[in-house]
């Protein structure tokens, strides 16, 4: 038995969380798992028609922060369905500004910019590290990216003492009062032996003698010691650091907690929770060597960056990325290997057109997208905020999210289809205390959620992708508390529920697609 197989899903999920402080690291973590499962990396810029084969498993990335992986059934033919699970890799965070060097009252500070709709008061008095992507000078004039992570706490945003009017919640200015402190001016002076005036003078002299630079250098825009730390993590000299995209993150690791280990406490559960379930769901669905043998579909996951800020970017869900990928996949030729069965009934559903001119439209009409973004668990301290008949509980299964105003893309045919997948899913190996599903031989449970009429409703990548693709879509997610806080909570048993649900969706969608028809 492998090390991962001997653990609970929650323990493996905690490892994934701790390895993924940024979207760049989350994609790297996903790549590592997909590589281990036999997936092959491909590139968007390359032709696919000859490189991709029925029965193959592939993945590609864009901007190193979005990843799409898919497996092609051996019985695939142009125009057949694609079963998709979509999630996102980003979470609200504080990003270091392009010019971050600040100081005040003897403190070294770092200027940051808010990303997404975070609960920023939860970021005060936390131990914050730095992680992200750095562009560095490589050999032969090549400029390459490296992922870095300073795991020790190097900065902190101090609360105002209660004696001066500090309280929780409290009002603060995000531009003027959200500067982390990163050190003392006096300590920097002792480290370098140079006063601030000496440093400015040295920088001015270096600027005069240096060749023309369109922008100030990183060491001019940021504290030099921060650049030293980043360079050390990247394994390059400080002068080789060209630029970076770095964020602050909570260095406290994710952990399993609760009296009976029923919770996961962590940052970034929204939405690494569903990213993990998507990645592990497609991998688990392919664990059998014959998983793709008679499959006439393509199994696909897409984990996008920038959902928290609207998804409007080249690597966001509101881009042309997924439509273009599905278009290219829809026209892939069928297998010509001796193992292909021309008598397979799925072949009868394929267009007879030799040029496959309508394959893309046929594929989308038959395809289905599960939009997977974490959902809200009922909070016992604020139970009045929840609609009385729609109060999701932790460890009671993945939540189907519904909204009459289409903030979620769910409709009744999608609910029916997902129920069939849930019935056929493997029951969880690790059961929450009091659960009867294992004894009853059931699959995995599901829950329903709508917001109250007098409450605002969030949204997901589901509505935008359903509109862009025209494919049937449902919105789901595992329940959690304190969404967008620096420290969130979800159910440890729901992790396996989510993985097994997606596993079943990929395995059975080709069969179920024919049975849930709405014209």
Summarize pLDDT for 286-330 with one digit per residue, the tens: 999 999 999 999 999 999 999 999 999 999 999 999 999 999 999
Closest CA to 268 of 489, 493, 8, 62: 489
Q: What is the CATH number of the domain that holds 473?
A: 3.40.630.10
Do the domain assignments include residue 3?
A: no
- Looking at the fold, whether 181 and 298 belong to one and the same domain comes out as no
Closest CA to 469 of 302, 282, 318, 313: 318
Query: Is the backbone of residue 100 left (phi > 0), alpha (psi -120 to 50) or beta?
Result: alpha
pLDDT level of residue 429 (50, 70, 90 thresholds): confident
- Assigned token pair, 279: 């990645």
Range of the domain at 149: 93-250
Do the beta carbons of residue 115 and residue 93 sit within 8 Å? yes
Which three-class secondary structure state does DSSP give residue 76?
Answer: coil
- Looking at the fold, whether 14 and 52 belong to one and the same domain comes out as yes
The two beta strands, 368-372 and 82-88, are: parallel
**Which residues does residue 473 pair with via DSSP β-bridges, in sequence order?**
369
- Looking at the fold, whether 306 and 195 belong to one and the same domain comes out as no
- Looking at the fold, whether 205 and 107 belong to one and the same domain comes out as yes
Closest CA to 60 of 48, 74, 49, 50: 48
Summarize pLDDT for 5-16 with one digit per residue, the tens: 446 999 999 999
- Looking at the fold, whether 319 and 394 belong to one and the same domain comes out as yes
- Looking at the fold, whether 58 and 107 belong to one and the same domain comes out as no
Do the beta carbons of residue 313 and residue 305 sit within 8 Å? yes
344: pLDDT strictly greater than 50 = no
Percent of the chain with pLDDT over 70: 88
Do the beta carbons of residue 63 and residue 259 sit within 8 Å? no
- Looking at the fold, whether 362 and 482 belong to one and the same domain comes out as yes
**Cβ atoms within 10 Å of 351's Cβ, excluding its own:** 17
pLDDT at 345: 40
Average pLDDT, the chain: 91
Q: Which residues, at least 6 apart from 72, have a Cβ–Cβ distance to it below 8 Å?
A: 52, 53, 54, 55, 56, 57, 58, 292, 298, 329, 332
**Lowest mean pLDDT across 104-113, 145-154, 347-356, 473-482:** 347-356
Distance (Å, rounded) from C-alpha 44 to C-alpha 66? Answer: 12
Structural domains in the chain (count) = 2
3-state SS track over 445-509: CEEEECCCCCCCCCCCHHHHHHHHHCCEEEEEECEEECCCCCCEEEECCHHHHHHHHHHHHHHHH
Average pLDDT estimate for 33-61: 96
Distance (Å, rounded) from C-alpha 339 to C-alpha 74? Answer: 8
**Lowest mean pLDDT across 58-67, 205-214, 412-421:** 205-214
341: pLDDT strictly greater than 50 = no
285: pLDDT strictly greater than 90 = yes
Average pLDDT estimate for 220-225: 96
Distance (Å, rounded) from C-alpha 500 to C-alpha 421? Answer: 9
- Looking at the fold, whether 314 and 291 belong to one and the same domain comes out as yes
**Cα 236 to the center of its chain, rounded Å:** 29
């Amino acid at each position: 038995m492998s090390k991962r197989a001997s653990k609970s899903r929650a323990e493996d999920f905690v490892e994934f969380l701790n390895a993924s402080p940024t979207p760049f690291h989350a994609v790297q973590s996903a790549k590592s798992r997909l590589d281990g499962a036999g997936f092959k990396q491909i590139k968007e810029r390359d032709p696919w028609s000859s490189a991709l084969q029925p029965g193959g498993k592939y993945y590609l990335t864009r901007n190193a922060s979005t990843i799409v992986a898919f497996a092609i059934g051996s019985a695939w033919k142009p125009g057949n369905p694609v079963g998709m699970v979509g999630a996102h890799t980003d979470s609200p965070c504080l990003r270091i500004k392009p010019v971050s060097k600040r100081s005040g009252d003897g403190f070294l500070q770092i200027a940051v910019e808010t990303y997404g709709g975070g609960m920023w008061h939860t970021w005060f008095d936390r131990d914050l590290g730095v992680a992200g992507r750095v562009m560095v000078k490589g050999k032969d004039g090549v400029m390459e990216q490296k992922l870095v992570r300073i795991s020790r706490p190097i900065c902190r945003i101090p609360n105002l003492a209660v004696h001066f009017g500090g309280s929780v919640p409290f009002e603060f200015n995000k531009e003027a009062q959200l500067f982390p402190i990163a050190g003392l001016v006096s300590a920097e002076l002792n480290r370098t032996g140079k006063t601030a005036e000496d440093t400015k003078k040295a920088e001015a002299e270096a600027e005069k003698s240096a060749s023309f630079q369109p922008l100030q250098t990183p060491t001019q825009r940021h504290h030099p010691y921060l650049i030293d730390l980043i360079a050390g993590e990247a394994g390059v000299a400080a002068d080789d650091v060209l630029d970076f995209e770095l964020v602050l993150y909570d260095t406290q690791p994710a952990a399993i907690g609760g009296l009976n280990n029923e919770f996961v406490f962590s940052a970034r559960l929204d939405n690494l929770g569903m990213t993990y379930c998507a990645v592990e769901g497609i991998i688990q669905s392919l664990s059998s060597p014959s998983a793709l043998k008679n499959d006439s579909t393509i199994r696909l996951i897409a984990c996008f960056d920038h959902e928290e800020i609207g998804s409007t970017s080249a690597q966001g869900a509101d881009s042309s990325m997924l439509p273009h990928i599905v278009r290219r996949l829809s026209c892939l030729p069928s297998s010509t290997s001796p193992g292909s069965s021309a008598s397979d009934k799925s072949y009868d559903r394929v267009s007879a057109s030799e040029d496959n001119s309508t394959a893309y439209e046929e594929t989308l009409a038959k395809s289905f997208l599960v939009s997977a973004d974490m959902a809200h668990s009922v909070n016992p301290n604020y139970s009045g905020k929840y609609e009385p008949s729609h109060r999701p509980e932790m460890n009671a299964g993945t939540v189907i999210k519904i909204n009459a105003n289409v903030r979620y893309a769910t409709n009744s045919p999608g609910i029916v289809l997902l129920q069939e997948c849930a019935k056929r899913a493997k029951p969880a190996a690790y059961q929450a205390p009091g659960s009867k599903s294992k004894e009853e031989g059931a699959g995995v449970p599901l829950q329903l959620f709508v917001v109250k009429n007098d409450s605002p409703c969030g949204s997901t990548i589901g509505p935008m992708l359903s509109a862009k693709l025209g494919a049937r879509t449902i919105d789901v997610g595992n329940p959690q508390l304190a969404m967008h806080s620096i420290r969130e909570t979800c159910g440890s048993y729901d992790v396996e529920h989510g993985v097994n649900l997606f596993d079943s969706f990929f395995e059975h969608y080709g069969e179920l697609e024919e049975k849930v028809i709405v014209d």
